[in-house]
Structure 1
């Protein structure tokens, strides 16, 4: 298996950091734009459901209002040192809300993965009314 490449996407969103954080860090918020349904258990294992298919991810970092990071259980079992992360920041000059997606993909799949994130972020923007 080839090594996955880290990539980062940046989006300017017309919302408050608090509203955005609730949409990216809670199961109910994630269910609005990221997956059909999201559940979390007492061990901080999130189950993401898309069209009946389930993927589990373990929460590894959560800083209130700033970032949330998971590792896919399948990647963890394979010994992959990869994760996906959402970060929120405020541009000091414009006071706009910046949203970052950090993820990993095979070298030849980065473009396809980026397109998938673009689609997800468009849904997030729709939910935000932005």
Structure 2
């Protein structure tokens, strides 16, 4: 299996970090934009799309700062992460997404994230 590489995407968001964090870290928030159905038990989130379910464990988090998930079926060093940062210049909230993809898959994976984030922004009223 080919080793995947990390990539980072940044999106300016017009909302408070606390509201954004709810959409990134709770089953109800994630179900609004990320998956059709989301459940959580003992720090393991079950994400369902079109009848298929994948599980991811929360490996690290800091309230209103970031949350990192590890897909249960992925190598231990791979994860996806939502990080909330503030631009020092504009004081704008920035959503930073880190994920892993194969060398030839980064563009497709980035487009998929952009599509998902567009749905998130719609829910946030952005």
* TM-score greater than 0.5 by the shorter chain: yes
SS in 2 for 1:24: helix
Structure 2: distance between partners of 1:22 and 1:80: 26
SS in 2 for 1:74: coil
Map 1:6-85 onto structure 2 (within 5 A). Answer: 6-42=6-42, 44-75=43-74, 79-85=75-81
Select 1:106's aligned residue among 80, 102, 108: 102
Quote the residue 2:112 is aligned against: 116
1:98, distance to aligned residue in structure 2 (A):
0.4
8 Å CA contact 2:6, 2:101 repeated in 1: yes
Structure 2: distance between partners of 1:91 and 1:29: 24
Q: Deviations over 1:43-84 (max 9, x none)?
A: x11100111110001110010000000110001xxx441000
Structure 2: distance between partners of 1:95 and 1:80: 35
Question: TM-score when scaled to structure 2?
Answer: 0.97
Give structure 1 regions of 4+ aligned residues with deviation exceeding 6 angstroms.
none
Question: TM-score when scaled to structure 1?
Answer: 0.94
**How many residues align structurally?**
126
